[in-house]
Structure 1
Amino acid sequence: MARTYESALSHLAALQSNKAITSLFTPPPPPPPPSSSSSSSSSAGPKQDLNALAIPEMQAWLLRAGISTSDLTKSGLRCIHVAGTKGKGSVCAYLTALLSHSSSEEEVRRTAGKVGTYTSPHLVSVRERIAINGESISRDLFARYFFEVWDACTEAARAELASRSSSDGKREGEEEEEISEEHLAGPATKPFYFRFLTLVALRAFLGEGVRSAVIECGIGGEYDSTNVLPPELITASVVTQLGIDHVGMLGGTLPEIAWHKAGVCKAGRKCFTRKLGEGGEEEGEETMRVLRRRAREKDAMLVEVEDEDVVRWGGVSVCGEKRVGSLEGEFQKYNQALAVLAAREHLRVITGENSTQKSESHGLEDIPASFTSALQYARLRGRCETREDETAPITWLIDGAHTAESLTEVARWFVGKIKTNPNGNTLLLFNQQDRDAGRLVTGLLRDIETSTPNNDQGQKKQKQLFTHALFTRNDIHPRNSSGKEADVEPERDLTVQIAAAKAMQDISPDTTTHILDNVSDAVAEIRSIANQDGGRRTTVLVTGSLHLVGALLRTLEPEAED
């Protein structure tokens, strides 16, 4: 087997997908009413708690990958664990920048050491998920650690098979099970996609001598694959802003979701979160009660960051020459605050410094200059990202927001950006394949209208927010309809896109809507519209899905390396 990067990608694609796993939590349709002839004894048994199996299974995979908890503990690796619904990626980007770039003070660099980051999902290259000192690991390093995990899992499966064969023996009349070498060396003996990449990241961090790691949860916290980390590795944790997401796995209310997210709390460690419930919001208050109760149960210290403290501090804006992926948006100051506090706590813990502050003093009033400078180095593709098109007069405003709450922040960001181009065309490129796209489009339009100045005091009037709106699937290329009949790709389901377009037409009937089955055609259509607009600059808001954003970036950057 070739140990190349291309081979690693091919093997990775064969693993069971994350979507296949999360679909197991989707409630099945209700059974039909029993007929008079049906027997009550045929009812199903108790439903298996898939969440409860997650950590024991991941611990087993850790051992099969040849990574012991003692290896992790003795390595000197120490981690900040980040959970939440909105802002996880931004907080991780700020933490990485703070630990990697606060190097004007040599002592801080020696303290933090080499910095690793594990995040998800990726937009263009899977290597984005595993970074060292803020840069994606190389193709060679990815392939090396990928196959270390792959081969270790293969060997573990071979050893387990040999052990069963020698201990069980063959029972009389029982046919001996034939398990081929191809089966042992293939994807069937490997964990699913996210678990596998988590193991690859840990292997890479151990192999590259990473001392400080920023670890982002995939889904939830309590049962997330990343929560297999030994508690002694965790120096601090963060629960970012919460929202309704992954209902099948986490529940349909903020308090239920908070229970899962607070799983990153560790005994004797601080967990930083934004205080909710101010202004008498009942659900926010109940959510905070859940977080506090969970922190007490885990003997952790919950540090509740007050919005007024963050507003008084003001945050740090990107200035000077902006880099690709520079984080924009007024709301980022809340993510910055959480990152600053967690980074300071991480450095305190790994240096063994005594802490006299519990949860009262948050330390936003005396942030060192090196931290202020480092925050400007934070980069995160596809979140409040602005880029100019190279072939048409287009400004792309790109954000992968995919919940109602995060789309509200995108609406505010968008309104602020179009102030600089008030007379140009504004277009929307949208998709959300797995949620109620029509509802999300409706909420986005209303949030944009609410955030637009001069629409208050009874002066609101119907406004065409977008001249064109394009609703597309996340597929990058057009449907394959060439070649032999057996090779023709079936028609792509556009039900979601049709529903989203209808929602747009109901609110803004003058907006021209387009329904497409791939992003390449959507980009070509947008460029055609922009080039026919007499030289005026066209602003395009791209949002609704990180998968859409990834497909867009790959379309705009065809030369980008996988």
Structure 2
Amino acid sequence: MKPLDFGRSDDPAVQAQLDRLSALSVPQGRLGLDTIRALMERLGNPHRALPPVFHVAGTNGKGSTCAFLRAMLEAQRYRVHVTTSPHLVRYNERIRLAGELISDAELAATLNEVLDAGEDLGPSFFEVTIAAAFLAFARTPADACVVEVGMGGRFDATNVLEPEALAACGIAALGLDHERFLLAPDDGVPKEPMARIAFEKAGIAKLGVPLVAMNNGEKPNREIALVAERVGAILVAHNKDWYIGSHSGFLEDRLGELDLPSPSLVGEHQMTNAGLAAAMLRAQTRIAVSDDAILKGVRAARWPARMQRLGEGPLTALVSAQQVWLDGGHNPSAGAVIAAHFDGPLHLVIGMIEGKDPRAIIEPLGKRIRTLTVVPVPGHECHPVEAFGAKARAASNLEDALLGVSSDDFPILIAGSLYLAGEVLRLNDELPD
């Protein structure tokens, strides 16, 4: 079975291109930007014809930061292009043109053009995706772009972006993830794991461009500062050049203090993500954004499957008396954030793909887990029920898992994989738009 990551479409023209994409993968042993640069050259270098770009890296929170950036820019009545990953239900979610998901017709034509242009280059799935996004961006009028790094930063396909295109770069919260790639042995890189992660993420820094970085601890902060100094980026460091109150709700930087409202996204960490987005906007000079637009954006941002309370739908109807929460978190940092949100007992429904740590979510929640149900992640090799401990029980699918949860006053959390989260949203008729 092909991974859901490649997507499915009811449009035959789109599906034909997704089938071509599904033959691509992450090239084993190939690092660098040579392939994406060659592909962009064949397409006319559309990445050099973009409106001001906000480029965001990180392990946790980069997607939320992008959501805040988009909401803040749109509150200023700007038209905003956005590319994020992965998609949850439809591949179209990866490319948003001037505020709207790319249409099936334009998606099919753009993917076909990119795949034809790079057929002999052997590009990866993600390189084709980013090339298609930048090509579509360059052809559609807009005022700004928000670009989320896929994995790492230094060798990520989005890092084909050049200083002239960038308004600001941002680094969100860091943690251990994708260790196979980001901690692979290499010459001239830090050996300490978190310092190495910081080094890879800071690879998006560019000469003369503000690099707004979250506080990630002494060693990561030092590595980010070294990279910024080496390339000539303008470092804007959290708790040095800008400050955010997680409870009091303020942003303070060289432009003074700005009182932030409670974010629309759930979780204390979202105040810091909102602060990072606001600091990126205030640190740059390419596009004017008022404080009022920043405040409106904090309240308006949406980001599915990140501590999202599900609404009424076919899936939640199976447990109508209980709250159902959804989070795609799958690493220890995400587990800590999830645990901080729930202060009492809960029912956990979890599915995790192979290569992820089964303890990442269950250990931070500890004794708060009242029942633990393990479900498969459709289309992916995933951990069996035995990986989650003796008290875990297996369910064949999400519907059976929810039907097996005790009827009580405790909330239900579905977590462990963004791919699983996409299946939840599809089954509950809550498609991201």
Per-residue deviation, 1:538: 5.0
In the TM superposition, 1:482-501 aligns within 5 A as 495-501=383-389
1:527 equivalent in structure 2: 403
Matched, 1:430 2:350: yes
Change (3 A) 1:437 1:498: farther
Q: How many residues are aligned here?
A: 400
Amino acid corresponding to residue 428 of structure 1 in structure 2: L
Find the partner of 1:372 among 275, 295, 303: 295
1:338 equivalent in structure 2: 276
Amino acid corresponding to residue 543 of structure 1 in structure 2: A
Change (3 A) 1:271 1:398: same
Task: Report the 3-state secondary structure (helix = DSSP H, G, I; strand = E; otherwise coil) of the residue aligned with 1:14.
Answer: helix
Per-residue deviation, 1:246: 1.1
Find the partner of 2:169 among 228, 231, 237: 237
Maintained 8 Å contact 1:119/1:215: yes
Find the partner of 2:372 among 454, 469, 490: 469
Amino acid corresponding to residue 394 of structure 2 in structure 1: I
Amino acid corresponding to residue 56 of structure 1 in structure 2: D
Per-residue deviation, 1:145: 2.1
Per-residue deviation, 1:10: 3.3
Maintained 8 Å contact 1:501/1:515: no
CA distance, structure 2, for counterparts of residue 86 and residue 244 of structure 1: 10
Q: Which runs of 5+ in 1 are unaligned?
A: 26-49, 104-108, 158-188, 277-283, 319-325, 354-366, 447-462, 477-491, 506-512
1:119 equivalent in structure 2: 84
Maintained 8 Å contact 1:96/1:133: no
Per-residue Cα deviation, 1:82-119 (whole angstroms, up to 9, x for no partner): 1111101000000001111223xxxxx4xxxx210000
RMSD: 2.8
2:237 equivalent in structure 1: 304
Change (3 A) 1:85 1:441: closer
CA distance, structure 1, for counterparts of residue 351 and residue 47 of structure 2: 40
1:218 equivalent in structure 2: 150
In the superposition, the TM-score normalised over structure 2's length comes to 0.84
Per-residue deviation, 1:561: 9.0
Structure with the largest fraction of helix: 1
Change (3 A) 1:208 1:538: same
Change (3 A) 1:495 1:384: closer
Task: Report the 3-state secondary structure (helix = DSSP H, G, I; strand = E; otherwise coil) of the residue aligned with 1:309.
Answer: strand
Matched, 1:387 2:310: yes
CA distance, structure 2, for counterparts of residue 62 and residue 514 of structure 1: 49
Matched, 1:404 2:344: no
Per-residue Cα deviation, 1:260-309 (whole angstroms, up to 9, x for no partner): 11111110111001123xxxxxxx21211111110001101111111993
CA distance, structure 1, for counterparts of residue 16 and residue 307 of structure 2: 32
CA distance, structure 1, for counterparts of residue 22 and residue 401 of structure 2: 35
Matched, 1:146 2:91: no
Amino acid corresponding to residue 556 of structure 1 in structure 2: N
Maintained 8 Å contact 2:318/2:399: no
Q: Which runs of 5+ in 2 are unaligned?
A: 1-8, 184-191, 251-259
Maintained 8 Å contact 2:54/2:166: yes
Find the partner of 1:414 among 342, 357, 360: 342
Matched, 1:80 2:54: yes
Maintained 8 Å contact 1:4/1:143: no
Change (3 A) 1:202 1:391: same
Matched, 1:264 2:227: no
Per-residue Cα deviation, 1:187-211 (whole angstroms, up to 9, x for no partner): xx66221111111111111111233
Amino acid corresponding to residue 303 of structure 2 in structure 1: L
CA distance, structure 1, for counterparts of residue 388 and residue 419 of structure 2: 17
Large movers: runs of 4+ above 6 Å:
none
Find the partner of 1:14 among 6, 10, 20: 20
CA distance, structure 1, for counterparts of residue 148 and residue 376 of structure 2: 27
Give the structure with higher Rg (CA). 1
Per-residue deviation, 1:552: 1.7
In the superposition, the TM-score normalised over structure 1's length comes to 0.66
Per-residue deviation, 1:436: 5.1
Change (3 A) 1:100 1:473: same
